[in-house]
C-alpha cells in the first residue's frame, strides 16, 4: 500500500506525539481526499521540519477535512553533509518553479533569488511575498516526494549588490563559462584546505547570464568564477547541473558519502 508523505507547516499548532489525533491542514486534507482519494486506514508519514518523521494513519475524511492518528517517531534524516546556498538569478514562471523543485530534490539547503540586470522577472514587494510563499510550497511538496524531512529556506529576493550583507558561507563560487577553473578543481582545492568543504554559496545568472559588471561585482563580494564544461547551459539547467556535480564530488552522491548511498 502506498505511504503518503505530508508536510505540516511549522510551527505546527500542536507538537506531534505518538497516539495524538490531529486534523490535517487544509491543503494536506484536500490532497489526501480529493487528489489521492485515500480511505481511512491508509498509512501516512508526517514531518514538520523539526527533525525526523512520524508514522501515521488516516482516521477519517469528509467534506470538512481529514483526521489522522500519529504513530512512532523516526529520527531518520536525508540531508547532505554539504550545505549549499543557491543564489539563483530570477527566471520567469515555470523555470523558477523547476529550479526550486529540483534543487530541493538535489539537497540544497537554502535558495536566495537574485534580481539581476538581465532578469526578465522583476518583483515588487507585495508580489515578492506571494512568490516566496509559492516557492516555499513548491519546496515543501518536493520534500514530500523525495523523502527530505527539512524544507529548504527560500530567502527574500535581493539585488546582487545587497548580497554583501546576506548570511552566506565564506566559500563562494559563481558559474562563468569563461572561467579558466573547472568546478571539480575548485572542489578538490576546498577539500584539502584547513577548513575542508562543508558549506558553499553558488551563484547562477538568469536568462542571458550575468553581465560583466555583475561578474566584477561578484568577484568583489568574494565569489570565485568556476565553469561546468565547454557548453553554455540555460539558467534552469546550470544550477541543477552544478548541484548534482557538487553532491557527487563532495556531498551524498559519492561512494564515500556519509550515507554510503
Q: Which domain-ending residue is among 74, 99, 115?
A: 74
More confident residue, 71 or 261: 71
- What is the average per-residue pLDDT within 57-82? 94
- What is the average per-residue pLDDT within 86-115? 94
Give the CATH number for residue 114: 3.40.1280.10
| Helix (H), strand (E) at residue 218 | helix 212-220
Give the range among 39-43, 61-65, 72-76, 195-199 with minimum mean pLDDT: 61-65
Whether residue 257 has pLDDT greater than 60: no
Q: Looking at the domain assignment, is residue 101 inside a domain?
A: yes
Residues 37 and 157 grouped into a single domain: no
Q: Which domain-ending residue is among 14, 48, 74?
A: 74
Whether residue 118 has pLDDT greater than 60: yes
Residues 95 and 126 grouped into a single domain: yes
The per-residue pLDDT for 128 is 78
Whether residue 191 has pLDDT greater than 70: yes
Domain count, the chain: 2
Q: Which domain-ending residue is among 74, 103, 132?
A: 74
Q: Looking at the domain assignment, is residue 257 inside a domain?
A: no
Residues 118 and 230 grouped into a single domain: yes
Q: Percent of the chain scored above 70 by pLDDT?
A: 92
The per-residue pLDDT for 52 is 93
- What is the average per-residue pLDDT within 37-46? 93
Residues 26 and 121 grouped into a single domain: no
The per-residue pLDDT for 63 is 81
- What is the average per-residue pLDDT within 178-206? 94
Q: Looking at the domain assignment, is residue 29 inside a domain?
A: yes
| Helix (H), strand (E) at residue 247 | helix 235-250
Residues 17 and 116 grouped into a single domain: no
The per-residue pLDDT for 200 is 97
The per-residue pLDDT for 13 is 60
d(CA 225, CA 128): 28
Q: Is 11 helix (H, G, I), strand (E, B) or coil?
A: coil
d(CA 144, CA 151): 9
Whether residue 184 has pLDDT greater than 90: yes
Write 76-79 long-range contacts (CB < 8 A, 24+): 76/52, 76/149, 77/51, 77/52, 77/149, 77/150, 78/146, 78/147, 78/148, 78/149, 78/259, 79/107, 79/148, 79/150
Residues 143 and 20 grouped into a single domain: no
More confident residue, 110 or 167: 110
Residues 62 and 105 grouped into a single domain: no
In which domain, by residue range, is 110 found? Answer: 83-250
Q: Looking at the domain assignment, is residue 164 inside a domain?
A: yes
Amino acid at each position: 500500500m502506498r505511504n503518503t508523505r505530508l508536510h505540516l507547516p511549522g510551527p505546527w499548532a500542536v507538537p506531534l506525539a505518538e497516539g495524538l489525533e490531529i486534523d490535517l491542514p487544509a491543503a494536506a486534507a484536500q490532497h489526501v481526499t480529493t487528489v489521492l482519494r485515500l480511505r481511512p486506514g491508509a498509512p501516512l508519514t508526517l514531518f514538520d521540519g523539526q527533525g525526523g518523521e512520524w508514522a501515521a494513519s488516516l482516521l477519517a475524511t469528509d467534506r470538512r477535512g481529514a483526521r489522522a492518528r500519529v504513530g512512532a517517531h523516526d529520527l531518520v534524516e536525508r540531508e547532505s553533509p554539504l550545505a549549499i546556498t543557491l543564489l539563483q538569478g530570477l527566471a520567469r514562471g515555470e523555470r523558477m518553479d523547476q529550479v526550486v523543485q529540483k534543487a530541493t530534490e538535489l539537497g540544497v539547503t537554502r535558495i536566495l533569488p537574485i534580481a539581476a540586470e538581465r532578469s526578465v522577472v522583476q518583483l515588487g514587494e507585495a508580489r515578492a511575498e506571494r512568490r516566496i510563499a509559492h516557492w516555499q510550497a513548491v519546496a515543501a511538496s518536493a520534500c514530500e516526494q523525495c523523502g527530505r524531512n527539512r524544507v529548504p529556506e527560500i530567502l527574500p529576493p535581493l539585488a546582487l549588490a545587497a548580497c554583501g550583507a546576506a548570511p552566506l558561507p565564506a566559500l563562494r563560487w559563481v558559474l562563468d563559462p569563461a572561467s579558466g577553473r573547472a568546478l571539480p578543481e575548485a572542489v578538490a582545492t576546498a577539500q584539502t584546505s584547513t577548513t575542508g568543504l562543508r558549506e558553499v554559496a553558488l551563484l547562477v545568472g538568469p536568462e542571458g547570464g550575468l553581465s560583466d559588471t555583475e561578474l566584477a561585482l561578484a568577484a568583489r563580494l568574494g565569489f570565485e568564477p568556476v565553469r561546468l564544461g565547454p557548453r553554455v547551459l540555460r539558467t534552469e539547467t546550470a544550477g541543477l547541473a552544478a548541484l548534482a556535480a557538487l553532491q557527487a564530488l563532495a556531498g551524498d552522491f559519492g561512494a564515500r558519502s556519509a550515507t554510503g548511498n
